[in-house]
A and B are shown apart, each in its own frame.
Chain A
């Protein structure tokens, strides 16, 4: 029998009924008396100066109640305090097609829609910057004039660890490849929606489908100019987020301001096309990966360069840039590592965090290159990886602390399950099998704004009937975070998850949690709830022990009973014990909090991105068949093993593995957020080729448990990591099937067919296009960066 009564059990999620039947109350379901409907006017230009905005015709239109523009909210904002370059609505300039310029509130949606065409905006079009190369080189066109960096560079970072030059010198062979990962978007089922209501007493409430109610709370204060104490943000259940609802958005500010102006509730719900413009999705990244290996395959040095196409604004871009480099070191032994990352601005919707945030693209490059190395060494790609694993309880060359590490077990599991060694390299032409490993963080080691406070806080209340309420600022985005918190509280207090009520995502009711991003909730909020519930557990145990006349360490809690371990018949119900505890101690409310430990990173500028209290690990095997005549790649099966520390709820972990694998599958095979002259080429679910249930492969999810020493009951993340290995596994399987290396995504039938017809052995980028001598541009960039760094040191 397991030591747990709730943890590890295959129980239904606490909010499953609402999610399955559609009765969950999403933001767009909210209807308030006298509510107005808002809509955003968006820029039809990729890059233009706003000369004049005249909303008088719209205001005069029957049914229009209020209009606002950028001038009404001139405060800069953005998710990362150090790189705020956005406005609630565009001020002076628009920077991509779809950039919000003005907002209307009207009595109904049709009127709001009609009124948009009555807002007169005069633009002075500017030349748009649309590619990484242009962004690096065009000094004459600046998307953000005051960025303080050359051309359209948003950020460039340079890190070096160990003896890189020496590593390459001693290498038996140096692999030198370019890769390109195409941009993709999250496409959550629920489009973004928000309802704001400003009351007569000067208090503002915003219901919104956000992953980050706390960060949004801060930005609302800043932009709206009213104290945070008068603002309440309620994160409604998100109908999917995947990172796409982690920024403060125009419609949220507009809803608030228009409600403040009209003293009526205002609702904004984006249409599907607008979600493609709001974006904040996966960055397109051009990558240059050089890896030195010894004669028997040990890695001697890695130099990785990434060029990120960031789109028009910062978003999380500074973190994304670092993330493309940071986690390269945590899977396999790297004695020396150099990383150069550059993120540029372009006139396209801003990129940001999407499931796997910044680590997905380099992982694709690395795992594809390892496949090639293993092939040259004549080694099975799983055996090769197993040979070079980074050990558990170690430090990486870039200073990251590793504790539990289950990549080896994951590889073993997928090997056994698929009988990989019997198939790889031995299937008939057109059939292939491929493998890849990866890792992810269980929550970012640092918050996005500098502070010493907990990352996650929770309070737990036990009522007189034995009911338990958990209050935590986390945002339920469908990933099951409410359920995780319920499981932790129930296990601690010996009740069932159905006895637990979770109040999440409400900045007024719940203690701060930083939000549902970076796969941090299970680990951090789980630990906070564990601590809070643990404190009440102690009180309940003491009260019951006194009553039963046995020592406290003989008291157990399970199945709503508090009993004597030595004589389980001797005991009482949890409710009775709770009454005893409350009689003795007063009201049963406790708090708990969590903050990652300090010693988990190195000490250098840029060391803040990458550390986490625990890394999750995963390995995936893809089996594909390629139609040699039409180029159609069918992924027959994905087998993925994931080290989640401990599965608090196994079906929820399996669900995350499956969902992540399917998302990765879509990115590998079809999805692309692409543009034609600045205009999104496929801003609809018909043309953006999200896989349907008819396409998704057969899937086997395997849970690997390493019982992390610091996770709640040993748990680590399961939300993002499982996406990462799927894409390179598919690319490697395609290689196994047809002998063509896909060093770029997506692997579409058209590309496969083209490669087969032209007898290509590789499809991928050749490097930065040499048209305008980007090497010179990069030299210039590095020269100015060096100069700036030097200046900083001097001053």
Chain B
């Protein structure tokens, strides 16, 4: 078995304490764009299903891990249908996907959380960790030995080129979290806590089109909560392309949500993952749908918009053409499903 590198573990008992520890350890000043991913000395860990495998492969080599197990709420709270829902960042994907309120009002999220990897990983993996999931690339998600043989790349060694496109000024690693497009389609915001205080961020603002600095928040900012607006009138769904019926990361993930006002679409959102370095909320698709009767022409226009927005690179399983094409097929299928059900 691959071995974990040696590290120290801090286990703060509250979000406040975690924020303090992270400040004391100087986590906020870390910049993977400068140090490379293995250069980050302090990292948060929640379920560890992303962090530990990456450490075993030496993509990460932190000196200190700050465990969020005790610091984060795991609760899903929702009152009447007129109010929204809040999900503690420590909630496991299993509990999110099984939660009755999530299932009935936020179907896309329940589906997406339920489609992550395997039951074992869903029992450990948290929604906070999923939202902050490292970007993926098949030149990067490899062992230390493999990457030594290859000669490394920008994401671990900023002075080296990107292997996917050697002239690319930035890392093209892929945003791969399943729940994120669902959350985007549902209009989620996240609460972020650090020693400087707490703020609320639109989920879409959390990401950046950069495979290394893929999060806009600092590395000492803890995602403590995911909040969903009231779901009244909304219908949503999620479709995932993966090679197998379990285990695999998405190579296309598409969430769609619509709110009908009579026969017309009052509002709509279409969001993608695994086709760029950041998750994408496809505004042009929403525009094509709003005011329409969710007729085939509107759906086709939305699918075309999603197709255009998708910019997959050759660094996951599958091919670029296949993944792009599947985006438009999924957009069509998702929207038809929302229309017909």
Using a CB–CB cutoff of 8 Å, the interface residues on chain A facing chain B are 42, 44-45, 97, 109-110, 113, 269, 271, 273, 629-631, 670, 679-684, 686-687, 689, 691-695, 749-750, 753-754, 757
Contacts and interface: CB of A to CB of B under 8 A. Distances in A.
A269 B1 CA distance: 8
Interface in B144-184: 145-146, 148-150
12 contacts: A42-B145, A44-B145, A97-B149, A113-B3, A273-B146, A630-B241, A630-B322, A686-B141, A692-B244, A692-B245, A753-B321, A753-B325
A695 B145 CA distance: 31
Contacts of B2: 271, 273
Contacts of B83: none
Contacts of B321: 750, 753-754
A695 B244 contact: yes
Interface string B319-341: 10110011001000000000000
A109 B3 contact: yes
Interface of B: 1-3, 6, 138, 141-143, 145-146, 148-150, 241, 243-249, 317-319, 321-322, 325-326, 329
Given A271-B1, A629-B329, A750-B318, A694 B145 contact: no
A693 B244 CA distance: 9
Counting chain B CB atoms within 10 Å of each CB, which of A109, A269, A679, A686 scores highest? Answer: A686
B1 A694 contact: no
- Among B148, B243, B319, the most chain A Cβ lie within 10 Å of the Cβ of B243
Nearest to B249: A686
Majority SS at the chain B contact face: loop
A97 B318 CA distance: 24
Most A CB contacts (10 A, CB to CB) among B141, B150, B318, B322 go to B322
A749 B149 contact: no
Contacts of B248: 686, 689
A757 B241 CA distance: 19
Given A97-B149, A687-B138, 5 more contacts: A42-B145, A273-B146, A689-B244, A694-B245, A754-B321
A755 to B, nearest CB: 12
Contacts of B243: 670, 689
A109 B319 CA distance: 39
A795 B145 CA distance: 50
- Nearest 8 A/B pairs, CB to CB: A694-B245, A44-B149, A750-B322, A750-B319, A629-B329, A694-B246, A692-B246, A695-B245
Contacts of A692: 244-247
A692 B248 CA distance: 10
B251 to A, nearest CB: 10
Contact of A630 (B3, B148, B329): B329
A692 B119 CA distance: 13
Contacts, number: 72
A575 B148 CA distance: 64
Nearest to B149: A44
Contacts of A686: 141, 247-249
A688 to B, nearest CB: 10
A694 B325 contact: no
A679 B244 contact: no
A627 B48 CA distance: 36
A434 B246 CA distance: 27
A126 to B, nearest CB: 15
Contacts of A631: 322
Contacts of A683: 142-143, 146
Contacts of B1: 109, 269, 271
A694 B244 contact: yes
Nearest to A116: B145
B244 A670 contact: yes
A679 B245 CA distance: 27
Nearest to B242: A689
Contact of B143 (A45, A110, A273, A753): A273
Given A273-B143, A686-B248, A753-B322, A44 B148 contact: yes
A715 B142 CA distance: 46
Nearest to A42: B145
A689 B243 CA distance: 7
A749 B146 contact: no
Nearest to B243: A689
A546 to B, nearest CB: 61
Contacts of A109: 1, 3
Contact of B145 (A273, A629, A684, A750): A273
Contacts of A689: 243-244, 248, 317
A42 B146 CA distance: 10
Contacts of A693: 246
A42 B149 CA distance: 10
Nearest to A109: B3
Nearest to B245: A694
Contacts of A684: 142
B27 to A, nearest CB: 26
A273 to B, nearest CB: 5
A683 B148 CA distance: 14
Contact of B149 (A113, A679, A695): A679
A110 B5 CA distance: 8
Contacts of A113: 3
Contacts of B138: 681-682, 687
Contacts of B6: 110
Given A631-B322, A670-B244, A750-B319, A110 B149 contact: no
Given A679-B146, A687-B317, A753-B325, A110 B244 contact: no
Contacts of B145: 42, 44, 273
Contacts of B142: 683-684
Contacts of A670: 243-244
A278 to B, nearest CB: 14
A642 to B, nearest CB: 27
Contacts of A753: 321-322, 325
Contacts of A757: 325
A754 B149 CA distance: 33
Nearest to A685: B247
A629 B327 CA distance: 11
B323 to A, nearest CB: 9
A682 B244 CA distance: 15
B322 A749 contact: yes
A110 B7 CA distance: 13
A342 B317 CA distance: 32
A686 B316 CA distance: 12
A691 B329 contact: no
A670 B248 CA distance: 13
